[in-house]
Structure formats: C-alpha cells, structure tokens
Amino acid sequence: MMKKILSIITVLLIVTLLLGCLDAPSVPGFDYPDVIVYHPEDSEDETIINLRAMELVMFENVVIYINSTENDETRRVERNDTFGPEVSTTHSHFELDIFVRQEEERYNFNATFELYPEENVPEEYQDEELVYRITFYDGEEDYITRDDLPFTETLNRIEEDDN
C-alpha cells in the first residue's frame, strides 16, 4: 500500500514539474504594442510617450515621429531590438506617428495631441481638469482628463497586401 501511494505521489510530482516546463499558449493580441501617453502632475509642459506590450516583447524596430505643429519641427527616434522605448516632448501641440516592426507583423499609431486645449471644449468637460484633446487620423476626437491618465491605446496592426 505504501509503495502504491509513493508511486502516485512520484507520478504527480513528475507531472507537476513537467507542466512548469511547458510554455502556456499566448493570448492573441498580448504581443500587440500599446502606446502610453502620460503627463506628470509636477510638469507643466512635459509629455512622456512609452511603448509596451502586455507580455514582455522585444520589438525589432520602433520609429517614433513627434512633429510640433507650433514650429513644424520633427523629431525622429528609432530603436532596434528594444523592449519599451520611452521619449518625451515639451511641445503643447504635436502629431505623434509610431511605426513598429515585430517579426513579420507591422503596427502603427497616428494622432494629434493638444495639451490643455482651451477652445471648443465640449460642455461635459468644462468642469474637468482637461489635459489633452486627441484627434485620431480618422478625425475622431477624444478628450483626456487627469483622471483618465495614463492614456493607453493599442497600435493598429497593418494588414499586408497579397498583391
């Protein structure tokens, strides 16, 4: 009887150890990059832009363009084999374009950010501590309050043409 119990315990122990060696299947979309935009409370004009995925992913190539619409100055940041590049800007009105390559996949994000917009603010945001007005490439607008930060948006996966 004791040998039988020891045999069962041994088999369970071996199975448990082997299960720890197996990779769990990834949930679809966990490796899609997210852009995170943050405005620190202690800074009047700094915006921090970070890129990450829900699981630890090394991006082969990341190119971030920050174009100031105030003085038409463009800053280009490129990183290869990186986990989560971070850049910052002090522009109050800028276009953000991000392009990511990861293995055979391509992703992008395009939007215009206005820090503390004062004109044409919808009524529902009049009493809020408004931080950004974001205009996406398709023309859709979103208003981000201090309580909504950090702003997180998944990049768009670019579908490859088979032609």
In the chain, what are the domain boundaries?
34-157
Contacts of 8 (CB under 8 A, 6+ apart): none
Q: Note the pLDDT tens digit of each residue in 57-70.
A: 888 999 999 999 88
Question: Measured between alpha carbons, how far is residue 83 from residues 15, 54, 92, 133 in Å?
Answer: 33, 11, 27, 28
pLDDT band at 134 (very low <50, low <70, confident <90, very high): very high
Q: Note the pLDDT tens digit of each residue in 39-92.
A: 888 887 899 999 988 777 888 999 999 999 888 889 999 999 988 889 999 998
CATH number assigned to the domain covering 34-157:
2.60.40.10
Per the DSSP assignment, residues forming a β-bridge with 102 are 105
* Cα R_g (the chain), whole angstroms: 23
The whole-model pTM stands at 0.77
